[in-house]
Every structure is written in structure tokens, then in C-alpha cells.
Amino acid sequence: MNATDRLNVLKTYKLYVGGKFPRSESGRVYEVSDSKGKWLANAPLSSRKDARDAVVAARKAFGGWSGATAYNRGQILYRVAEMLEGRRDQFTREVADAEGLSKSKAAAVVDATIDRWVWYAGWTDKIAQVVGGGNPVAGPFFNLSSPEPTGVVAIVAPQESSFLGLVSVLAPVIATGNTAIVVASENSPLPALSLAEVLATSDVPGGVVNVLSGRTAEIAAPLAAHQDVNAIDLAGADEVLAKELEIAAADNLKRVLRPQPVDYAKTPGTDRLTAFLETKTVWHPTGSLGASGSSY
Amino acid sequence: MASVFEYAPAPESRAIADIAPSYGLFIDGEFVEAADGKVFKTVSPSTEEVLSEIAQAGSEDVDRAVKAARRAFEKWSALPGAERAKYLFRIARIIQERSRELAVLETLDNGKPIKETRDADLPLVAAHFFYYAGWADKLDHAGYGPNPRPLGVAGQVIPWNFPLLMLAWKIAPALATGNTVVLKPAETTPLSALFFADICRQAGLPKGVVNILPGYGDAGAALIAHPDVNKVAFTGSTAVGKEIARTVAGTRKKVTLELGGKGANIVFDDAPIDQAVEGIVNGIFFNQGQVCCAGSRLLVQESIQEELLDSLKRRLSTLRLGDPLDKNTDIGAINSEEQLTRITSLVEQGEAEGAERWSPACELPESGYWFAPTLFTNVTQAHRIARDEIFGPVLSVLTFRTPDEAVAKANNTPYGLSAGIWTEKGSRILAVANKLRAGVVWSNTFNKFDPTSPFGGYKESGFGREGGRHGLEAYLAPSSPEGER
């Protein structure tokens, strides 16, 4: 049989919730096309119920993930980079289709994305030393300020940068011990749904990252209003939607990261790491003798 | 309770604080009348005596003050950090010099005991200015990128429970980072902020850098909504905090909110009981319990409940309630009639829901706003007194059996500001502190504050931190390599 006659196997793209790959509970899908309008696949069109299920999964995973050692989280994130490297060609194809890039440009984007995972993998066990520390209290107390993850973070992923942008907003959230619900780019959700397959095979515990595809405004609204979501990253929301979501988020005082112009190609700073961290200060009496109080 | 040793009155002289019969708004370095000529009276909560008549800011005044702050911003932010530092050091020193006067003033206007204003509030106020003064010329080293920039005009709204301390928490970091300020003190406690205006004058602070607008909630709302305000800082109730979060949605305003709490004070069976009792008293009866981080839920291990409650009740019976200016007074007046009504209604609900109410024998003065120290036992997690912030001298006692249960109950609240742990076991302190979802955890102590230490809440207790290096972030535009913001 001639190779050109072979019918290729199409992939059924699915959501990623609680470590499993369900279809949308609504049974709905929508057509995803490449930049020229050619049909690529049917992606799940998530419902509000899918969003709520994802919150339950993310909350359930929070204790274990935030309680894992920073070293362990770093290892797991690095493992994600390893897995991405192995699927480099697949992601290059998907990013090229999604963003209308040439093969070489798409490959460069995938390389940058893998490097970004590695960058954040290295942060897990360092951020506490950079933003935490002991405070020189004027009194017989020892106190220590440490960063802690804020909890469950909903992420409205960037619309244009379907892979590098996605990873640039997701990795810092989970590197710091939060769990995440990602609303993938509405028009280009396929790289995000494929990333889920990588996460599922990279020792990232189920529920730590949950990926939903569909209409951004429809999925993001219940997440912004959800009482068990602690923070929301509005990276991929337009001005009108971002304002609506920020107002909804005020209801339980979610931490809000507003959309801002970002060049995802540049090395990020620590702002996205610290945006989803709380600072806890623990006090304890010391008695009056300080460390240098000895006469020896 | 009659005691073998009675204390003679030891009143501080109120003549130390010279309160004028009326005050204006402080805008652009001048005291001025409100645009619409409105005034309100501030009373002493312990006697209901009118202390002074204060100009009441409206939206027109807010606009004037923001304009003044905007004009002042250009020069103030361009000043070398070392020069800004010297202004703040001056302010810190003047506060120290005038601290006795300010302590008396604060006690008169707020109703809290003089021993608290004198020994807690004022030293901390001076320390905050001193601490942030030192940051003004070291911002490059603060960890917020090279050459971090100020945001512009800061609109700040503060509560009545620590009027001068909250002013210091807001103004010191704002000025150190090069921002200018419009601050609205609470309507029941405007005086110390107006005295602070005089301190700014004495320090030679440039006009318009600090503006003080006494007034009500409408003035605060106008300030926060003002389009030319770049930064909003608020300390107060969670309900108002949520309203503010909605107001600033979709704007570029940076926000920090320090809101309510329902702090759990957890006492394990191996805790030093006498120290724990002192800590519990300090945790909930300091400032009549009108403290956002108050330890208002006592979680006591079941096996020591009886012993602990006996000690606690004995200790409460020795607390002296009365004239806040008396140096021996432990419990002063409730800040306002409105607050007294709120406390009374929540306490009545506690009784109606079946919790058991106890107070020491306690005579309340005839005039003023007073509430006796109160303890509730038989409290369940579902009771309103275990869920709502009462903001008064009311302690709800719950029990637990295991550390896990203590953590689960402590975290069973939408708030996440403070918590306390009492145990002799170091590993238990660390394990429990780790699991508590609260911004400040005191172990074997409670209600300790220091300008070097970040303070602020998780969850619905607000966002952002005040104090320490972390407190600078709220007033700086991050210089992110990701791009311009």
C-alpha cells in the first residue's frame, strides 16, 4: 500500500481534570481550525459544571502538592521539561498550526517553552530564600516570614501565545505550590490539551493542573465567582471581560493578576511567582539572650 | 470584685493634650474648611464629652486634596531618597518627643487605656517611621528590581481602632517610596491624624505631600474611586474591602486591603497555663477586642478545658474596667455607640443560639460606651459568635482533641489573618504553624507587632502585607523584565 494512501489517525482531544481525561460533561465540542481556517480537530466545549469539577479536583490536590518538598516539586517540573523535549516535534506541529508560524519559528517557540519550564523548575526551592527570611524584631522574639502558596488559582491563558504564553503563566503558579485550573486559548486550545498529556505522564499529581477548553468568557465566569478559588490570573481576558471577572473575584477577595502587555519571549522576573504567594510570619519568644549574647 | 488591695486612682493629666475647639481639613499644607462647610463632632467614648468640631470632607475636598498630592508628587518623588529619609527620621523623632501628648489625645478620642496608647501604640508609631525612613535611600536593594518607581498619589483609608498606628503603617512606607498621600481617618477618631498634620508642619514636610481628610464613608469611597489616585490602601471591615475591590476592578490602581479576622488561639494540653492565660487575655481583651487580629476563638484541648477556664475566669475577675486615662485601667471604653450596639446584638445572638455567657462581676460607668469582658462556652463552629467578627471584648471557647482537629477548626473560617499556638513542644509549634492558613502566627505569645515584620491576611482577610521589606511592594511599580506595566 502506498504511504500517501494511508488514512492518518485523528486524535480526540479531551479535557484534563483531576488527572483524568474526560469529555465535557455537556457533551459539546467546537471546531478548532488552523490560522488558514482548515479544520484541525473538535475540542471539548467545557461547561460551568466542568469548571466546578476542576475546582474540586484542584482543591483536593492542593494539600499534597503544597505539602510536597520544594525539591520534589522542582524534580517533577524538570521531568515535565524532559517529557516536552521528547514530544518536541508534535508540539512544533501544533504550535505552527495554532499560531500560523513556519516550522522553524514554531520550533523556536517550543524550545523557548521547554527552557521556561526548566527555569521555573529551578525556582521551587529558591523563592523562599529570596522573598522570605528572619525579621530583626525589637524584642525578645524570633520571627520568620515564609512564602506559602495562596491555594487554587484559576488561569485565563493568553489567547495568542498558545504554548509559550500558556506555560509562562502556568509554571509559576504550580512551581510555588498552588494548584491550577487553566482556561486554554479559545481559538488555539490544542497545544494546551496536549500539554495535559505530558503533565499526566510526568509525575505531576492528578488535580494539580486542570485544563479546560471552550469559550473563555463562559468558563472563566464561574471560576472568578467560585468561593473555593483563591486567585485568578486574567492574562488572556480582554479589557471588558477582565473587568467583569475582577468584580466577580471581589466576592471572596481573590488575588487578581490583571492582564498586562507581556513579551513572553523575554526571561520573566519573579512577579508571576510572588503574585500567588502569601507571606506567613511566625513569632516565638526567645528569652532575652540573643545569638551574640554569649561572652565567649 | 472586692479585693484586699484596692488601687487608688492614677489618672494621667489630660491637660497634656491641648485640643482646639475646631479643626479643618489638612490640604496642601493648610487647614481649610470643607467646601460645603459641613462639620461633625468627635466625642470621647468614655464620657460622651464633645472633644472638638471637625470639618467633614466631601467629594469636592477629595478632589482638591488629590490635586494637591499630584502637584506635590513631582518634586517629592524626584527628591533623592536620602533627603526623603531625613524628613521621615524627623517625623519619627517628633513623634517620640510628643508621644505623651499623643498618647493622651489618642486615649481621649478612642477610649482605649492610656497604658496601651503609651506603651504599645506610640512606640510602634515612631518605630514605623524610623524603620521606613531607613528604606527611602535603599530601595534599589529591596528586591523589587533596579530603580523601582513610586506609583503616584496614594489614597488611604484607616479605621478607628488604632488611629495613629494605622496612619503610620500607611504613610511611612508611602512617603519612603516617593508617593504622596491623601489619608482619610475614621469619623470617630480624627484627632490624632490632625495632630500628625501639625507634626508634618514641624518637620518642614513639603506642602501637599501629606493631606488629611477627616470624614465619613462617603469621603473614603470618593477617594478610592478618584481617577487620579494610583494606589489604594485600606484597613477595615471585610464588607467594605470587597466593595473597594469591586470599585478598583478594571483600573490600574494597585490595592492592598487589611480586613477582618476571626483568629484562633489554640491551647494544647502541655501549654504553660499561666502564660497561656495571659496570652488569651492579651489576645482578646487588648484594645477591648477591637483588633482585626484578635484571638477571638479560643480552641482549648479538651483535657485541660476545666483547668484553663478556671484560671482564665480568675484572671478576668482581676481586670480593671473604667477611666481610660487611669494608668491602672485594663479595659477602656468601646469606641462608639454604633460599635457597642453591634457587639451587644452579636452577644445576644450567641445566647439565643445556646452558648453559655459569662462575665466577671463588673461595674460599668454610667456615661460612655462600655462592655464587660465576656466569655462564651458551649460554642459550636456553627454559632454566629464563632464565625462573625465581633470586634469587641468577647471570647468564644471551643474544644478539640487532636492537633488535626485543632487545625481543621482553626482554618474553618473565611478569614485568615492571625492565629496563636500554645504548647511547650517545638515540633508541634512548627507542624501546626505550617498548616494554619493565617498571615501571622504567634506561638507562646500573642498580639506582637514590629515594623520589621510583614503583617496581613490570607483568604478574606485581604491582600498585601504591611511592615517589613514586604510592605514596600504595595507602593512600588515593579520594574519587570517581562515588559512595561
- The string of pLDDT tens digits covering residues B83-104 is 999 999 999 999 999 999 999 9
Question: Which residue's C-alpha cell is 481576558?
Answer: A237
Q: Tell me the three cell numbers of residue B167.
A: 496612619
- Domain A40-285 fold is Aldehyde Dehydrogenase; Chain A, domain 1 (3.40.605)
Burial annotation B340-363 (CB, 10 A radius, 16+ → b, else e): bebbeebbeebeebebeeebbebe
Question: Coil, helix or strand for B50?
Answer: strand
* Domain residue limits at B341: 264-443
- What is the mean predicted confidence (pLDDT) over B205-234? 98
Torsion-angle region of residue B186: left (phi > 0), alpha (psi -120 to 50) or beta? Answer: beta
From CA B455, how far away is CA A269, in angstroms rounded? 24
> Of B263, B260, B268, B267, nearest to B238 (Cα)?
B260
User: Do the Cβ atoms of A283 and B443 come within 8 Å?
Assistant: yes
Best B293, B460, B470, B485 member to test A by mutation, with max A CBs in 10 Å, is: B470
Mean pLDDT of chain A: 95
Of B357, B361, B348, residue with least CA distance to B379 = B357
| Interchain contact, B459 vs A252, CB within 8 Å | yes
Return the pLDDT at A292.
59
Residues 6+ apart with CB under 8 A from B14: B104, B108, B325
Q: Which residues of B are catalytic?
A: 258, 292
Please, which pLDDT band fits residue B36 given cuts at 50, 70 and 90? Answer: very high
Whether B484 shows a pLDDT value over 50: the answer reads no
* From A113-117, A265-269, B236-240, the region with the lowest mean pLDDT: A265-269
- Is the predicted pLDDT of residue A91 greater than 90, yes or no? yes
- The pLDDT of residue A294: 58
B393 and B469 housed in the same domain: no
CB atoms within 10 A of CB B22: 13
Mean pLDDT across chain B: 96
Per domain, the residue ranges of chain A are 40-285
Share of chain A above pLDDT 90, in %: 93
SS3 of B466, please?
Answer: strand
User: Do B240 and B337 reside in the same domain of the chain?
Assistant: no
ipTM, two decimals: 0.95
Q: In this structure, are B186 and B199 located in the same domain?
A: yes
pLDDT tens digits along B371-398: 999 999 999 999 999 999 999 999 999 9
- Given an 8 Å threshold on Cβ–Cβ distance, is A281 in contact with B463? no
In this predicted structure, the answer to whether residue A7 has a pLDDT above a threshold of 60 is yes
Per-residue pLDDT at A289: 53
Q: What pLDDT score does B147 carry?
A: 87
pLDDT in tens, A217-269: 999 999 999 999 999 999 999 999 999 999 999 999 999 999 999 999 999 99
| Cα atoms in the 13 Å half-sphere on the side-chain side of B133 | 17
Residues from chain A that touch B462, judged by Cβ atoms under 8 A, are 253
**Do B372 and B423 lie in a common domain?**
yes
Q: Among A238, A279, A288, which would you mutate to test the B interface (most chain B Cβ atoms within 10 Å of its Cβ)?
A: A279
Query: What pLDDT, on a 0 to 100 scale, did the predictor assign at position B7?
Result: 85
Note whether B485 contacts A260, CB cutoff 8 Å.
yes
Q: Is residue B178 part of a domain?
A: yes
CB-closest option in A143, A253, A267 to B241: A253
Closest Cβ opposite residue B453 in set A143, A256, A278: A143
Of B476, B483, B484, B482, residue with least CA distance to B147:
B476
- Cα of B304 to nearest chain A Cα, Å: 22
For residue A240, give the chain B residue with the closest CA.
Answer: B250
B191 and B42 in a single domain? The answer is: yes
Residues of A at the B interface, defined by Cβ within 8 angstroms: 130-131, 135-139, 141, 143, 145, 150, 230, 239, 242-243, 246-247, 249-253, 255-256, 258, 260-264, 266-269, 271-272, 278-285
Residues B140 and B95 in one domain: yes
**Which of A129, A145, A153 to mutate to probe the B interface, most B CBs <10 Å?**
A145
Which of A1-15, A226-240, B20-34 is predicted with the least confidence, judged by mean pLDDT?
Answer: A1-15
- Classify each residue of B230-239 as buried b or exposed e, where b means 16 or more C-beta atoms within 10 Å of its C-beta: bbbbbbbebe
pLDDT at residue A4 greater than cutoff 80: no
Q: What is the pLDDT of residue B5?
A: 73
Cα(A249)–Cα(B416) distance, integer angstroms: 17
Helix (H, G, I), strand (E, B), or coil: what is residue B353?
A: coil
Q: What value does the mean pLDDT take over residues A128-134? A: 97
Burial class from Cβ neighbours inside 10 Å (0-12, 13-18, 19+) for residue A72 reads middle
In chain B, the number of structural domains is 2
Cα radius of gyration rounded to whole Å, chain A = 21
Yes or no: say if B260 and B292 are a contact pair by the CB < 8 Å rule: yes
Chain A closest CA to B249's CA: distance in Å? Answer: 5
Smallest Cβ distance to B482: which of A249, A255, A269?
A: A269
Distance of alpha carbon B409 from alpha carbon B401, whole angstroms:
11
**pLDDT score for B145:** 87
- Residues belonging to chain A: 296
Residues 6+ positions from B369 with CB-CB distance below 8 Å? B45, B46, B48, B111, B333, B334, B335, B336, B337, B339, B340
Q: How far apart are CA B216 and CA B195, in angstroms?
A: 19
**Inter-residue contact B364 to B372 (CB < 8 Å):** yes
Provide the grid cell at A100.
Answer: 500560523
Q: Which whole number is the average pLDDT over A122-148?
A: 97
Q: Which residues of B touch A141 (CB under 8 A)?
A: 445, 448, 450
| Inter-chain CB pairs, A–B, below 8 Å | 129
pLDDT tops 50 at residue B485: no
Q: CB A253 to CB B242 under 8 A? A: yes
Give yes or no: residues B269 and B373 share one domain: yes
Comparing alpha-carbon positions, the chain A residue that sits nearest to B142 is: A131
pLDDT at B219 over 80: yes
B241 plus B323 within the same structural domain: no
| pLDDT mean over B218-244 | 98
pLDDT at position A2 is: 61
- Same domain (yes/no): B293, B253: no
The reply to whether B227 and B109 lie within a common domain is yes
B234 is a domain residue: yes
Of A249, A250, A267, the CB nearest to B481: A267
List CB contacts (< 8 A) between B480 and chain A: 268-269, 271
pLDDT > 70? residue B251: yes
Mutate to test the interface with B, among A251, A284, A286 (most CBs of B within 10 A): A284
Residues of B whose CB is below 8 A from A250: 242-243, 245-246, 249
Domain assignment present for B30? yes
Residues B335 and B212 in one domain: no
8-state DSSP, A17? B
Residues B333 and B235 reside in one and the same domain: no
Q: How far is B459 from chain A (nearest CA, A)?
A: 7
Cell 516570614 found at: A145
CATH of the domain at B436: 3.40.309.10
CB–CB contact B481 A268 (8 Å): yes
pTM for the whole structure: 0.95
Confidence of residue B481 (pLDDT cuts 50, 70, 90): very low
Mean pLDDT of B27-38: 98
Across the range A74-84, mean pLDDT stands at 98
Nearest residue of A to residue B444 by CA position? A284
CATH code of the domain in which B52 resides: 3.40.605.10
CA-based nearest distance A243→chain B, Å: 4
d(CA B212, CA B197): 7
